[in-house]
Structure 1
Amino acid sequence: MARRRALILVEGHPRCTGLLYVQAAQRLGLHPIVLSADPARYNYIAAEGIETIRVDTHNLDALIRECSRLRATYDIAGITSDIESVYATVGKLCRYFGLPGPNPASIERCCDKFTQRQFLAEAGVPVPAYHLATNARDVESAAAEIGLPVILKPAVGAGSRGVRLCRNVEEVAEHTTYLLGGKHIWRSSPKILVEEFAQGPYYNADIMGDEVIGIYAGEFGPRPHFVFRELTLPAPLTDDELERIVDVSLSCLQALGLGWGPTNVELRWTKSGPVVIEVNPRLPGTPCPQMIQLAYGVDIITEHIKLAIGDEWDLRETLSQTAAARILVPDRDGTINSIAGESLAAAVAGVAEVKFYVEPKTAFIRKGDSRDWIGHVIVASPSPARTKAILQRAVDLISWSITPLPTLGE
């Protein structure tokens, strides 16, 4: 009797894309098995009845032991993840078991933002001016040399955690104290990237292999933080702008030794043209995979899994629409009492998805990063103007109420 083919998923995004990987694997006839250090993070695991194994997912030897044990029962077709922090380890696992996967050295090079910058700059890829700092004095002198405003960010991390625009010396000192004073949780020894604030419209290029699938335009909420508010695919670009962004994005692959599987390149269009802010050696999270499917008819998560199991993959476009997403973010801290209008918004023609990640009666304190998202609305239509109108109509139907948190002494 033939053994079941399993897809090993090392961790997964708890909000949305983790579940999308599980569902895509099932549609391909695979048995998904999630390896996680904390399976309770994923509410979809219990809801979907997914086989799960608790294991330290940063410990390669422990992962090898679990996968070896699973091979006694299953035919392991592939191993993958959508989480950047474990993706290099996934690459090492794939090599150990002779499965298709990313180059671990390239992933590690990419995940350290300072090292990434060095490789990009050496290859002639346009990047903002930058310095590495490990203490307050280094941060201060780097900011003075680059010139204010500057962005301070942890050299290792994701989701805009710890990233802040500092417009004066006081803000530089304040955010340095935050990063080095024990409030920011470091995954490695503290290293701060001090960089020039590249000013101009934000774009985001999604790549699979060496093919640019789509370029989004993005907008952020209020500074000094960088919390996404809206994404549009395809971005409204001239042919020349499109060509230059594609060229720069593909040059990042060459510089960093990427080109297997998904890559996501974040850029700003400055006075001198496209400047690379960051290269992420993974698929972007929600709402991007859903937007690619709505705009172009490409199920990028399914195609990533096909690549991971050694099957033929197909990025041919079958649709030509404009997709847009609004990220729902509260404007103040407090307890989210009620959420209204979700089903009304979902019923609007052209709305593909309305989703909240929080339940009513949830206490909420803004962090100034992607943890501030409480939901999203995704829409699509054949016309950019119509898509924008549908998105605004749907968002206008949604509301929530927030009660301020009690202050000390109350």
Structure 2
Amino acid sequence: MKHLLLVESNESITGIQACQELGYTVTLITQDIQHYLKGQPLASHPLHRVDYIHEVDTFNEEAVVDFVKEYHKVHPLTGVMSFAEFYVVQATAAAHAIGVPTMHPLAAKNARNKYKSRELCIQNGVPVPVSLLAGSVEEACQHAQAMGYPCIIKPCDGAMSIGVVLVNNERELRQAYDSYVNNRNYGRNLYGSADVLIEEFAAGPLVSVEMVTYQGKDVLIGITDRRLVGFPYFVETGASFPVQLSNETEIVEAVSQGLRALGVDFGPTHTEVALTPEGPKIIEFNPRMVGGPVPEMIKYATGIHLPVEVLRMHMGEEPNLTATVSRGAASREFCSPVDGTLLEVTGLKALEGRPDILKSHFIAAGREVSYPRSNFDWIGRVTVGGDDAAQAEQKCSEIQNGIGLHIVARPLS
């Protein structure tokens, strides 16, 4: 039986569920199993599907590589990978060390380091926003003054929009810088780099290009439209797939050119692109499969079960990336307009029994909620299918109008 080792997991356990469909033996290495269990017994948690679990310092690349090399000697592995953004570099390094299919580790590092990816893109003529690296608040202020306000401050190695802020003046920049460098804990004992980027504000709609690179070819799965709220923060509150754009060829070519510049030679990628008046500009590359509700949206819209196909290619099998249906899907995330406590969510009963609702989930009443500052601040999500993306998006708007969030605001201190 084929044996896959996963370096951590995404919160939805998507990859582990797909492994079950494929009949793989699965080993999970994690820094802390309680991060997933949260006090729940393993026997009643989805992780009970995993065959073997070992605790390893998964944020330490050397520790992961050493463990995998020794483990492989006793329990031969067919593949090593991670669906979780913060662990892709470690997983690719370990897979490369034992000679199983993977993206080149340097390409993964290039993609995860946003400044390095900017440098490589500029060297290769790939359109990206102007971006300057800052190692201190004074350097950040100097860069912003030279670039001009408004501009963006963002971590070099972040994710989930954490620490990404639009600033209009030096006071806001200093505040955003201090807020990030003093709160660099992403959870799971992960700490972001103290280096930040001061970046041109690439105004325009945001889309993401979902691709799979296999045998030297970039296969387009589709383009996802993105909805943002929370300015000066950048929080995703909706998506539709697949979006049809008049300049799709230009966008896809820019992304493929960027992937070549970074050295991406294998695996899924999720690339965010701003559609500016000057043309598409690549905001960031992610050396992993798109997350959140989008894999389920892709499956409904195209018939491609992306997590399964990504697993298969990492196990030395040929993925099937050909669409078998042509539909659309959309999602809507719900956020609180204030910091406070969620009392009740109304309007959910109207969704019960609807065959076009792919998934609906909201947090429990009584939970503390926050004004959206990152993609961790969602209260709930609804994912819906349609004849095409536009119809699914319209359904999401109607659903949003029918759902009420009843929140008690937290008193100002």
Normalising by structure 1, report the TM-score: 0.91
- For residue 154 of structure 1, what is the aligned residue in structure 2? 155
Give the distance between the partners of 2:109 and 2:388, measured in 1 at CA: 40
Contact 1:203–1:218 (CA<8 Å) still a contact in 2?
A: yes
| Shift in Å, 1:319 | 1.1
- For residue 227 of structure 1, what is the aligned residue in structure 2? 235
199, 202, 205: which one pairs with 2:206?
202
Identify unmatched segments of 5+ residues in structure 2.
none
Is the counterpart of residue 42 in structure 1 residue 36 in structure 2?
yes
- For residue 311 of structure 2, what is the aligned residue in structure 1? 305
Overall identity of the aligned pairs, in % = 28
Give the distance between the partners of 1:6 and 1:129, measured in 2 at CA: 44
Give the distance between the partners of 1:267 and 1:361, measured in 2 at CA: 37
Residues 134, 378 of structure 1: CA spacing in aligned structure 2 closer, same or farther, 3 A cutoff? same
Q: How does 1:23-62 map to 2 (within 5 A)?
A: 23-43=17-37, 46-48=44-46, 49=48, 50=50, 51-62=52-63
Q: How does 1:154-193 map to 2 (within 5 A)?
A: 154-180=155-181, 182-185=182-185, 187=191, 189-193=193-197
Aligned-partner residue type, residue 269 of structure 2: T
Is the counterpart of residue 386 in structure 1 residue 391 in structure 2?
yes
Give the distance between the partners of 1:270 and 1:147, measured in 2 at CA: 18
Give the distance between the partners of 2:145 and 2:339, measured in 1 at CA: 34
370, 377, 380: which one pairs with 1:375?
380
Aligned-partner residue type, residue 405 of structure 1: R
2:172 partner SS: helix
- For residue 5 of structure 2, what is the aligned residue in structure 1? 8
Contact 1:293–1:300 (CA<8 Å) still a contact in 2?
A: yes
Give the distance between the partners of 2:356 and 2:279, measured in 1 at CA: 34
Give the distance between the partners of 1:288 and 1:205, measured in 2 at CA: 11
- For residue 216 of structure 1, what is the aligned residue in structure 2? 224
353, 369, 372: which one pairs with 2:359?
353
Contact 2:92–2:103 (CA<8 Å) still a contact in 1?
A: yes
Contact 1:208–1:259 (CA<8 Å) still a contact in 2?
A: no
1:63 partner SS: helix
Residues 383, 102 of structure 1: CA spacing in aligned structure 2 closer, same or farther, 3 A cutoff? closer
Aligned-partner residue type, residue 202 of structure 1: L
What is the aligned residue count?
398
1:392 partner SS: helix
243, 246, 251: which one pairs with 2:257?
251
Aligned-partner residue type, residue 255 of structure 1: A
| Shift in Å, 1:41 | 1.9
| Shift in Å, 1:394 | 2.9
Per-residue CA distance 1:71-113 (angstroms, 9 max, x = gap)? 5774422111112221111111112222111211111111111
Per-residue CA distance 1:24-67 (angstroms, 9 max, x = gap)? 10000112222111212224965121342221112345435544
Give the distance between the partners of 1:214 and 1:141, measured in 2 at CA: 40
Aligned-partner residue type, residue 253 of structure 1: L
Aligned-partner residue type, residue 364 of structure 2: E
| Shift in Å, 1:143 | 0.7
Residues 397, 188 of structure 1: CA spacing in aligned structure 2 closer, same or farther, 3 A cutoff? closer
Aligned-partner residue type, residue 96 of structure 1: A
Contact 1:203–1:267 (CA<8 Å) still a contact in 2?
A: yes
Give the distance between the partners of 1:37 and 1:92, measured in 2 at CA: 17
- For residue 99 of structure 1, what is the aligned residue in structure 2? 100
| Shift in Å, 1:338 | 2.8
Contact 1:346–1:353 (CA<8 Å) still a contact in 2?
A: no
- For residue 122 of structure 2, what is the aligned residue in structure 1? 121
Contact 1:295–1:322 (CA<8 Å) still a contact in 2?
A: yes
Residues 274, 391 of structure 1: CA spacing in aligned structure 2 closer, same or farther, 3 A cutoff? same
1:376 partner SS: strand
- For residue 15 of structure 2, what is the aligned residue in structure 1? 21
Give the distance between the partners of 2:58 and 2:10, measured in 1 at CA: 14
RMSD: 2.1
Deviates more, 1:157-166 or 1:391-400: 391-400
Give the distance between the partners of 1:169 and 1:59, measured in 2 at CA: 36
